[in-house]
Structure 1
Amino acid sequence: MSFLPEKEPLKFDVNLCGAPEEIIHLVDNIKKVGEQFLYHWKTFPIVLPPTAITTKCQINGNDSTYGSDSNCTLARRAITSIRSINCRDLFVPPSFDELDAVAINTKGEPRHLNAKQLESLRERGLDKDIHGKPKKLNSKQLDTIRKLGEFEVASINFVGQTHKWRLTEWLQKGTERNRETLLDDLAFSLQFLLVTARARLFSHFFSIADSIKAILTGVIKLIDIIFGVPSLQAHNLPEKIREERCRYLVAELICRPELEHALEHLISFVRKQLRKAATEKFEPSKEAMFPQIPIPYQFLTPKHEEIDLRLFNRDIMKKALPVIMGLLERETRGWFLHFREKLIYELKAQKLSDEEIEKSVNEAVMKEYLQRVYKSIINNSELQMLGDGIPKLLINQAQCIVLMHRAVENVQRKIIKQKNTLSQRMQYTYPVLSRIGPWMRDKQRIAEEKFIQECQWSAHEEALTLCKEYNLHQAVYFLQRDLTFMREREPVLSKELKAVKIPTRTFHWLTQIWHPSNWIVRRSFQGQSETIPTILSSTATAITTPRSNPCQAVFLVEKEITRSTTTRWPFWRIINYFYRTWTWTWNAMFFFGVVIPWCSPVSVRSLFCSESFYPDLELSQVNGTLFPRKSSLTSTLLSRLNLLWRHISKSRTHFETKPDTGFIGKGMTRHLNRIWNYVIKGILGTLAMLIIFPIICLSASLGSLMVAITGPLWMPLVTLLLHVFNGLIYDLDSPAEWKNRYFVIIEAVIWNIIIQGILQPLIACLIAFVLCPIITVILFFVALLRYWFRLAWDSIIYHLVIKKRGRIPACDSFIVKRVAGPGMASDYYFQIRPEQALAAFEAKMELDELNAYQNLMEQKIQQPQKDFARFVDVCFGPFSAHLAKNGAYRVLEKEAQDLMSALHDKLERRLRELQSGLSTTLKSKIRLTSKDLKVTVALASKMLEYWYPQHVIQKLSTSEEEFWESKGITINDWSALAVVFFTDIFSLDFLTPLDDTDTKFKLETEHSVDLSRFSNAIHTINFDGQSSEMLGPLYSSRGNIQIQSPYLEISAFNPRSKLLHCKFKKLDNACNSITYTMLLGGRFKTGTRKHKAYLGTNSAQSSQLNKSRPWKRSQQPYMADKMCIPLPVPHPAHIALIIHNRDSESPIPLESENCIGILRALEDRSSDLLSTDYILASSFDSTDSHSSLTSESAEPEEQNVNVYNWQRDDWMLRTRQTGAVRVELASPEDISLDSESTRVVFGTLGTTV
């Protein structure tokens, strides 16, 4: 019988009644061709591959080779197995409930023991003696109960395991546990005296010390709100120190002689651009590109050591980073797993602790990874083409970053070790006090602060030592300069800068200039400003807004005199009071004495002048003269009457010129119109203007004049009321934003002085000197009474009840409860035999074969449909015809669905037999011993080598190379593939062998399962010394050892990177440092050690916790602020300017805004002018600005495109979304949109609106 499918041509039913003969002939030809090429499956037998578990297999003697044509993965002896193995029968979990099984029989009645059971119970009975009666407790168990209140019973079914029972505390607690309770009670009583009482005296919260601070705070607030206390601050102190730090790093550098011409060209270019910026507007980024300005990247130290900074070149890094990323990814493959396990095995053989092993292996893995990466970089031809020595520079940069991180990590490890040592010493020296948590934390905090103060330069010194070992001369030079600055210059500089303080707030008082002839007119042209005479003109000009043309001058007018006061001096509020009174008085007199009587619509001028007038003036941008503002036109009484009667005349004319088409003729409505216009509008309106308007004008003018004359009398009272309002309600003159502005006097008097200053110390003294000692004494005697009463009670119960009546229980009760034993703990494992693992492995291979068979059959079943669709597309596609899924194609679909269903049904039945049915939790606990694991992996690799290529790989739709690449292992590495399969079958923990100290239970098979062929194959392998060495230490028990995959951040190769510049936070575990997270690709561990890992969100959570619980002292974590990674070396363009300023008598102003923009344009320039790649900001590219980091090579998923690269002083290309927009009102064509970089560029002479 043939198992191959048979084809049958498709038949088409065509009905063309009434069609032309040409069409009938054409369709007949198409039908013939279609029936010739198209087909369907006449028969399609579905025969699954024979299962390897039930196939007859033989093995000859000690020969363990496998026939290539055999369906079995292991050769068998002359023993034939005809029983199929269900994979669910391979692993049968044990039952941990042996208590009831011993106590009762299957019918629920007391079990009668036979001779064999009695003999077994004599040796290891559980709760029955040799007569089947409840078993008494022995002397060891009674002694354990006396000490701990618990006892142990050996297990029957699980050799080496014990059941632990604990008595309820009211029955028996135990002397040891009673002593622990006594120590805890004594510690709790002493806590009130040593912690609570002391905290009420010296703590930062609710203490006498805090009350003294509160009184001083309240008094200062009262003095400040009434008179004014100086309020100063050091402005931008960290930024200034950082700028000086950057300059100091390169202060001694010398330009190479052959590059001095480039330095001169750069200096001349910067000077030219500064002159241009002072006279006209320009874009520095474009000016820096055309022409290409040479930048010296190589310098010399005073000892003539070479400093090569070519990695600051954006073009070089743009080409190098993609290559390096590929090398970093490639070097992580193929070696890590075996290398890690070999190291763990060797270090475990040396009897090292888990912590030492973890540290050593992580360092060795990272070292091996870095060596591989460095070797690939040094031998890469693409990187060598970037320039002589560029690969070496990249390696040195990465080495420097790694070593600096390692130095900081070493300091962190020392701090953690010192804390642990202190804790152990305190627990040994003070067994009671060490149980007081706040007392221990306070001691640890003091010791940690002292250690940090002593080791504040340890990170620098450690990094210097490491860099010297690796001969990184350039890094050593900058590290030494940085250490010298931080140790010698930074304290002095910080002290000097702290002395230079600025006021926290400046007040501006504007006084109106009354007469326009006294207004101040300024003329600005090409960066120069001068005051010109004020000229009043009656001739208006067309241009009144500032022009953007740099060849045209800009005129500005000042109508107020500005005076300023600050919070620098004492009594600044009194000074503000006088300035406010003076300014407001003159402005009120101007408003009420000039504006209203002479310039307003109800002024005397509006009453007596014959024509309208212009009370306001505006500035001409042509000649700087002041002329009347047209928008300020004000009408007078005569002009209003004139307008009224003109309106009446126009209304009458309009009425008379309209045609007479209304409901009532004009003969009647004309009289009404005359009455409305002449009488009501004209006469009454004129009378109203002549009578009411003069009264309004005179009363308003006279009233405002009176207010203006009496202004010096009432204005001081208004400002005094405002001064009182500032103290009682809301402080408008608050010197700082962070201070409270509401009800300042009430806060100072009631809260700070009365509550915190008076009531707080009284209550604190009462608690510290009365309540806490009383509570301590009471708790002390209660603890002693409790201890002696407990001892007496335990002795009575032990001698009267437990010793005489105690026996081994069979179940839990309210008196005794089983707390430990087989199956109760989570740290246990299931041990299996190699035969079971190999059988499951064989099932896994068969699953892969079935999957490959399924894909192959599905493609073959669907082949007629694909050929049909291709035929239609080729023949009728040019005529825009598409496949219609009906007719013959529908028949093909139906046949394919039927075949698919039959295939899936057969596969599902087979797959159910191959499923082990184990849960994920159970799989993670299955282990083998070390020897069994080696044997299993060795045999599994042979099974794969002789069976897998023919039965699986040949049936795959991909090539063999693609198969191995998808698994992430090298070609024909059958051992690694076996490891991957075992990981899929069980879990990754399966590869960790069992130790002798592990708690383990056996997973047996069903009695009907025959695994003898696997046992025979195992016994035929002879593991002599050579074979054992060949297999090697595949895997080792790791326990708490966690080894992270090696990973190096791409930014480690870029000196302009910001990613590696971070402040190192204090960690409770040395291996959880930021170095492991970033450089080793690690993750923070939780729950694997005694100490918890520090997470990045802990600082925010701690801040929120302190707000909700203010009595908790805020813990300041250790931060290696003295170490910046990478070092803040300025850009070579900035270094060139620093060198010029050091040796020149006419230095370039580096702090100026124009110079900062020019430097940034030079730093960010690239030969690719159309480049729009994402640029990461850098913290220390120059001393005045944050430059950009070229990371065009970053992967798309690693780029944060939603984060804008704002730079602090980018004055020319700023697109920050703020409330102010710079526009050129007179010249909108000067606003340009850069379509390539989506930036709007504005001129520098614009105005802010």
Structure 2
Amino acid sequence: MSGEERASRPNSLVLEAPAPEREPLRFDVQLVGAPPEVEQLVNNIKQVAEDFLYHWKTFPIVLPQSRFTGPGNRPSDIIIAPPCDELDAAALDAGVEPHPLSPKQLHSIREKGEFEVPSRHFPGQTHVWRVAGWLQRGRIRAREELYCHIARAIALIVVVSRDRLLRDEPLSLIAGAKALMQGLHRLMDVIFGMPSLEARDLEKKIREERSRYLVAELICKPENQEDIAALAAWVTRAMRRASTEKRDARDSSSRAAPRVPYLYTTPQRTQVDLRLYKRDLLRRAAPALQTILDRESRGWFLHFRERRAALLASQKMPMKDIEEEVSAAAMREYVSRVCGAVLASEALAALGAGVPDLLAAQLRAAVIVNRAEEGIRRKLEAGLATAEARIRASHPILSRAEAWRKEKLAVAAQGLRNELRWAGMEDAANAMQGNKLPQHRYFLLRDLTFLRDREPLLMKELRAAKTPTREFVWATRIWLPRNWEIVRHFRGRSERIPTVVSARATSIVTPRSDPSQPVFLAHLDTTRTTTTRWPGWRLLNLAHRTWCWTWNLMFVLGVLLPWCSPLSLRTLLCVKPFVPDLELSQVNGTLFPKRSSETQTMWSLLLKLWRYVSKERTRFETEPDTGLLGKGLSRQANRVWNYGVVGGLGSLALLLLFPLAALAASSLALLAAASVPLWLPGAVLALHAAFALVYDLDCPDPGRLNRWFVLFEAIIWRIGFLGIVQPILAFLVAIFLCPLAALILLVGGVGWWVARGAWEAVAWRALIVRAARVPAHDSRYCRRVAGPALHTHASYQITAAQALAAVCARGELEALAAWAADTEAAIERPLKDYQHFVDACFGPFSVQIAKTGAYKQVEKECAELVWSAREKLAARRRDLALPLADAARARVRMLPHDLRKAVHASAVELAVMWGAAARADEWWAARGLEPADWHALAANTLVDVFDAEILVALEEGEARVALEAGAGAARWRELAARHPAPPDVLAERDDWRPAPGVWGEWSGTPAPRVPPPALDAAAFSPRHAHLPPLPAPPAVALVLHNRESDNPVPLDSDLCMEILRSLEDAPDCDDRREGVERYRGGGSEATSDTSGSDTPDDDALCRISPRTERAACRWTLTGRGVRLRADLASPEDVSLDADRHCGTSV
């Protein structure tokens, strides 16, 4: 190695920098009047401090040698951004005045209204200037405008006029006829009541039938038959328990859930494993899967994208196709890597045998389905583009009308959707067969069969099964308590019992929550129901409302008020208080008087009044005589008040006024009750009229229909405006207005075209030909509409030598930053030693450093040295800085061969520069790179210096401006020429991984705009939105049970679905039959039968498996409520007699 080369390297020095020189600190200690012991101690401390503490006598600050020394050798001299005024250069053409337009440019203005000017800085490109429309539009543009006017005129006839007459659209004859029929139907509905039916929950029923059809042909394995029977029995008992014990169905999961089978076979002998439907399994696998997804997404995509893009670009493939192909290949590579990592994961393998295989297969299936849907979307887009091109070619003038073109495109799109409706699922099934995914292919084909063949028929059947949209309940009060209906509810069964009125009261009157006790309910009303199923339901509602309101009002006015109220006749006839209301006993279901409804009579009130007077007199006489006047004077006043005012006047009111009030209230109530049949029907009829006029309380469909001013809506809006005025307006528009407007538009368009042509001919010959010049900027007469760097900035082109110089400058800056950190640490070392000395010696005495004396002087010297070092560093950084702003750096790019050469040469120089520091793997890990991957480091450095666009090579014809290079670039050009660029040919392999020592990245091909592939952990879930919606494994088992059982489980009930959901969320049972074998009856862990009756299914048998040496057994003694847990040393330690019903279950 020559001396010149050694001197040019940043880490090598021609002359070694002198080492810093220390000087001990000196302390001036003067103690006056101190004891000898203190003086000796202080002198010892001073001597030790002067031996240990120091400051820098000399500290030379010599920056590392730089390769950018000398005049004209700085980065600002190597990369120069020249000023670029492209428009002035193109207009002036090396002159002072703009040159006139050429005959070709003048002819272009006459034909197209625009002209082209060749670019000076961008060879092969042109600037397009468009003349203002008022001055010159050109023959071609004027003709296009005429065609558009003709197309709009024709569209008024063939689209607008036709739609008003023949299409069901707003403002049309058909829409008017429909509105008229709807208005008449609404009017008849308001008056009489028309049938209102609907098919409810269509989507939910279709979804349930679809999920059951997917698993309807599965075959359970023989060893799991008993598990399915036990599960069905458990669910049945749980439903009965939830309905009888008055508790939430989700509480069933707290009991010992039976084992749910997950393994099945198909009629084609395909193995089906549904273990991924266990939520707990996916929940435990989620952290490991997320880690794998994050790990496998790093470190390979850039290499893969560049290599695949280079290969496809060499085949002359368009950029759009390259981006699509690279994106698909990147996703395949990512999925392959993730599947390999999943299969090799020990954490996933610990979840169960074959679980990694299931997860990998599930991921491949989800990706295949997404890929198939993406393919169908692209076919649909391509088909629509082809259809639009065909429409424009076959109808060159009419296709310019947007309404007509959209209509034709909508028809074509509908045809394409019908044609490609099942193609996505068929393609996915074929791809699954090629990827050996038989389970997912089976369910996908079953789903395809259901959607294509069975769903239309099922939808037709379900739509025919309609139910009324609303139901009305009319309750009529039962007058006599002995006619009330008493119903006993116990264990899901209801029965009516005889009505018994008893005088004995019981202590329990509220329904009990104990499931072993019955519940009694009293029905005080007779209910009748009407619906909107049949015509005339409003008249039926009128009759029922009149009937029930009449009887209920007569009961209130004729029974409750004159016989049971506090002002009833019974208060005058009875002496003792009476109890008019009854309440129901929850012990035996009898009716007894309700004490809280006790009503006082006139005589009982009189008795109560004089008892109150007696108590007041007694209280007065028994109190001590401590008042102001004494009892001798106040006794007479107390007697007058209690006997005369309270007792006398109160008795007078009860005996005279109370009977009059009771007789008047009862008489008025009886008269009103007798007159109810006379005036109530009219009131109800008026109420129904108010329903039609103001607010429709009996609206058949409140969620869809308007309820305010229904009659006015039906007559004025629907019949009058929409049904009569709309057809008239539609007819006038179609027959008169549209043809007239089309004629005006056609004549006006042709006239405007003729007049415009004459004006443009005069303006072109008189003005443009004589005075037009090449413009240099936009004005009111013309503006630039196309050309290099118009909408996007032009790129700055640099050479490989300039890029290499920028990379080396960045490397020197990083080395300079590390040197600065080490130098500042060395400068401040005396301060740190000083602090450490004080803390070690005087820290236990809570002594702190005072910034005075020697410490202040050392701190000042260190601050000056640091400031001097930073000044020199700032000057060096200014010398190494690039002269480009951040916006300009983002536009810097290179040609393909320069990009290859720059990356390779930069990698070599960085390897020499950082060779010693890069020996540790941590150094590469901090930069997110593989060890010894110098080319990736060089590429990342280029991105840091400029921008990510630096790695995208310039294409042919792309707008660019070459950055000038100074005289100092010659040496870097020679250095870059020493390292030949690697070949740009790589073998095509989907599983490519960069081999050590072989460089295949950043080969110079323009990189496509393809984002890195990404997957979510939800892709491993079989409940993915795009996959067939299989039911949960418990529901699958019950579907198979119902297929062969005479006692099916009602899967459609909400209670059953709630139990299955709780069973699905319950912790998993152990599938291995080791230890204690669970019993087959499907019962719970603690089988205390609260119903009071035992069934054979509830019997339990404790069996100990002989395969284990030590088993754990837990059982519950039902009779005693005691739970035991025994660790058994051998299976012979326990023996239970199955014939004895001892209430023990294991």
> What's the TM-score once normalised by structure 2's chain length?
0.83
- Find the aligned partners of 1:697 and 1:510 in 2 and give their Cα distance: 30
The superposition leaves residues 263-309 of structure 1 with CA deviations (integer Å, 9 ceiling, x where unpaired) of: 44444544554554455467877765765633322112223332222
Task: Pick from 991, 998, 1003 the counterpart of residue 963 of structure 2.
Answer: 1003
- Find the aligned partners of 1:559 and 1:14 in 2 and give their Cα distance: 111
1:1067-1146 map, 5 Å: 1125-1146=1026-1047
Is the 1:9–1:39 Cα contact (8 Å) retained in structure 2?
A: yes
Deviation of the 1:851 alpha carbon: 3.4
Q: Residue 47 in 1 paired to residue 35 in 2?
A: no
- Equivalence for 1:95: 84
1:967–1:521 distance in 2 versus 1, CA, 3 Å: same
Deviation of the 1:1013 alpha carbon: 1.6
Q: Residue 698 in 1 paired to residue 663 in 2?
A: yes
- Find the aligned partners of 1:233 and 1:337 in 2 and give their Cα distance: 58
- Equivalence for 1:146: 110
- Equivalence for 1:136: 100
- Find the aligned partners of 1:307 and 1:553 in 2 and give their Cα distance: 47
- Equivalence for 1:422: 387
1:559–1:835 distance in 2 versus 1, CA, 3 Å: same
1:545–1:321 distance in 2 versus 1, CA, 3 Å: same
1:316–1:45 distance in 2 versus 1, CA, 3 Å: same
Deviation of the 1:99 alpha carbon: 2.6
Amino acid at match of 2:1016: E
- Equivalence for 1:197: 161
The superposition leaves residues 1032-1071 of structure 1 with CA deviations (integer Å, 9 ceiling, x where unpaired) of: 46255658x432212222222222x3xx30xxxxxxxxxx
Amino acid at match of 1:96: D
Q: Residue 975 in 1 paired to residue 942 in 2?
A: no
| Partner-residue secondary structure (3-state), 1:333 | coil
Identity %: 40
Deviates more, 1:564-573 or 1:133-142: 133-142
> Number of residue pairs matched?
1041
Amino acid at match of 1:1135: V
Task: Pick from 489, 503, 506 the counterpart of residue 541 of structure 1.
Answer: 506
Q: Residue 750 in 1 paired to residue 739 in 2?
A: no
Amino acid at match of 1:1002: A
- Equivalence for 2:300: 335
Amino acid at match of 1:844: R
Deviation of the 1:782 alpha carbon: 1.4
Amino acid at match of 2:207: R
Deviation of the 1:975 alpha carbon: 0.7
- Equivalence for 1:473: 438
1:370-389 map, 5 Å: 370-389=335-354
Is the 1:38–1:864 Cα contact (8 Å) retained in structure 2?
A: no
The superposition leaves residues 598-620 of structure 1 with CA deviations (integer Å, 9 ceiling, x where unpaired) of: 11122122233222222212122
Task: Pick from 831, 848, 853 the counterpart of residue 797 of structure 2.
Answer: 831
- Find the aligned partners of 1:43 and 1:1139 in 2 and give their Cα distance: 94
Deviates more, 1:555-564 or 1:150-159: 150-159
- Equivalence for 1:938: 904
The superposition leaves residues 862-910 of structure 1 with CA deviations (integer Å, 9 ceiling, x where unpaired) of: 777877888899899999x798998899969888777666655554444
Deviates more, 1:471-480 or 1:213-222: 471-480
1:878–1:526 distance in 2 versus 1, CA, 3 Å: farther
The superposition leaves residues 681-720 of structure 1 with CA deviations (integer Å, 9 ceiling, x where unpaired) of: 3333333333332222111111111111111121111211
- Equivalence for 1:1150: 1051
- Equivalence for 1:488: 453
- Equivalence for 1:511: 476
Is the 1:342–1:1033 Cα contact (8 Å) retained in structure 2?
A: yes
- Equivalence for 2:739: 773
- Equivalence for 1:1196: none
- Find the aligned partners of 1:745 and 1:601 in 2 and give their Cα distance: 46
Q: Residue 797 in 1 paired to residue 763 in 2?
A: yes
Deviation of the 1:796 alpha carbon: 2.0
Q: Residue 572 in 1 paired to residue 572 in 2?
A: no
Q: Residue 782 in 1 paired to residue 748 in 2?
A: yes
Deviation of the 1:667 alpha carbon: 6.2
- Find the aligned partners of 1:31 and 1:186 in 2 and give their Cα distance: 108
- Find the aligned partners of 1:1026 and 1:439 in 2 and give their Cα distance: 52
1:335-354 map, 5 Å: 335-354=300-319
Deviates more, 1:32-41 or 1:242-251: 32-41
1:273–1:97 distance in 2 versus 1, CA, 3 Å: closer
Is the 2:563–2:569 Cα contact (8 Å) retained in structure 1?
A: yes
| Partner-residue secondary structure (3-state), 2:914 | helix
| Partner-residue secondary structure (3-state), 1:550 | coil
Amino acid at match of 2:83: P
Unaligned runs of 5+ in 2: 1-16, 988-997, 1071-1146
- Find the aligned partners of 1:31 and 1:268 in 2 and give their Cα distance: 91
1:906–1:147 distance in 2 versus 1, CA, 3 Å: same
Amino acid at match of 2:431: L
Amino acid at match of 2:781: I
Deviation of the 1:140 alpha carbon: 1.2
Amino acid at match of 2:813: L
Is the 2:311–2:986 Cα contact (8 Å) retained in structure 1?
A: no
Is the 1:993–1:1035 Cα contact (8 Å) retained in structure 2?
A: no
- Find the aligned partners of 1:564 and 1:506 in 2 and give their Cα distance: 7
- Find the aligned partners of 2:627 and 2:808 in 1 and give their Cα distance: 109
- Equivalence for 1:721: 686
- Find the aligned partners of 1:759 and 1:43 in 2 and give their Cα distance: 107
- Find the aligned partners of 1:713 and 1:44 in 2 and give their Cα distance: 123
1:809–1:558 distance in 2 versus 1, CA, 3 Å: closer
Task: Pick from 283, 299, 311 the counterpart of residue 264 of structure 2.
Answer: 299
Amino acid at match of 1:1143: E
Amino acid at match of 1:726: F
Is the 1:285–1:1165 Cα contact (8 Å) retained in structure 2?
A: no
- Equivalence for 2:979: 1021
Amino acid at match of 1:1020: R
1:861-1010 map, 5 Å: 904-916=870-882, 918-950=884-916, 953=917, 960-1005=920-965, 1010=968
Task: Pick from 691, 707, 718 the counterpart of residue 741 of structure 1.
Answer: 707
- Find the aligned partners of 1:981 and 1:819 in 2 and give their Cα distance: 38
| Partner-residue secondary structure (3-state), 1:710 | helix
Is the 2:482–2:499 Cα contact (8 Å) retained in structure 1?
A: yes
Structure index of larger Rg: 2
Deviation of the 1:1168 alpha carbon: 9.8
1:861–1:224 distance in 2 versus 1, CA, 3 Å: farther
1:1014–1:562 distance in 2 versus 1, CA, 3 Å: same
Q: Residue 1047 in 1 paired to residue 1014 in 2?
A: yes
Q: Residue 367 in 1 paired to residue 332 in 2?
A: yes
Amino acid at match of 1:391: P
Deviation of the 1:645 alpha carbon: 3.4
1:1131–1:217 distance in 2 versus 1, CA, 3 Å: same
Deviates more, 1:788-797 or 1:415-424: 788-797
Is the 1:100–1:811 Cα contact (8 Å) retained in structure 2?
A: no
Is the 1:88–1:915 Cα contact (8 Å) retained in structure 2?
A: no
Is the 1:398–1:1052 Cα contact (8 Å) retained in structure 2?
A: yes
Deviation of the 1:176 alpha carbon: 1.5
Amino acid at match of 2:151: A
Amino acid at match of 2:88: L
1:13–1:429 distance in 2 versus 1, CA, 3 Å: farther
Amino acid at match of 2:932: N
- Equivalence for 1:175: 139
- Find the aligned partners of 2:33 and 2:579 in 1 and give their Cα distance: 98
The superposition leaves residues 368-427 of structure 1 with CA deviations (integer Å, 9 ceiling, x where unpaired) of: 122222222333344344444333222222221111222222222221111111111112
Is the 1:172–1:798 Cα contact (8 Å) retained in structure 2?
A: yes
Deviates more, 1:2-11 or 1:386-395: 2-11
Is the 1:87–1:843 Cα contact (8 Å) retained in structure 2?
A: no
Is the 1:96–1:823 Cα contact (8 Å) retained in structure 2?
A: no
- Find the aligned partners of 1:543 and 1:643 in 2 and give their Cα distance: 30
Deviates more, 1:741-750 or 1:448-457: 448-457
Unaligned runs of 5+ in 1: 56-80, 104-124, 1062-1124, 1170-1249
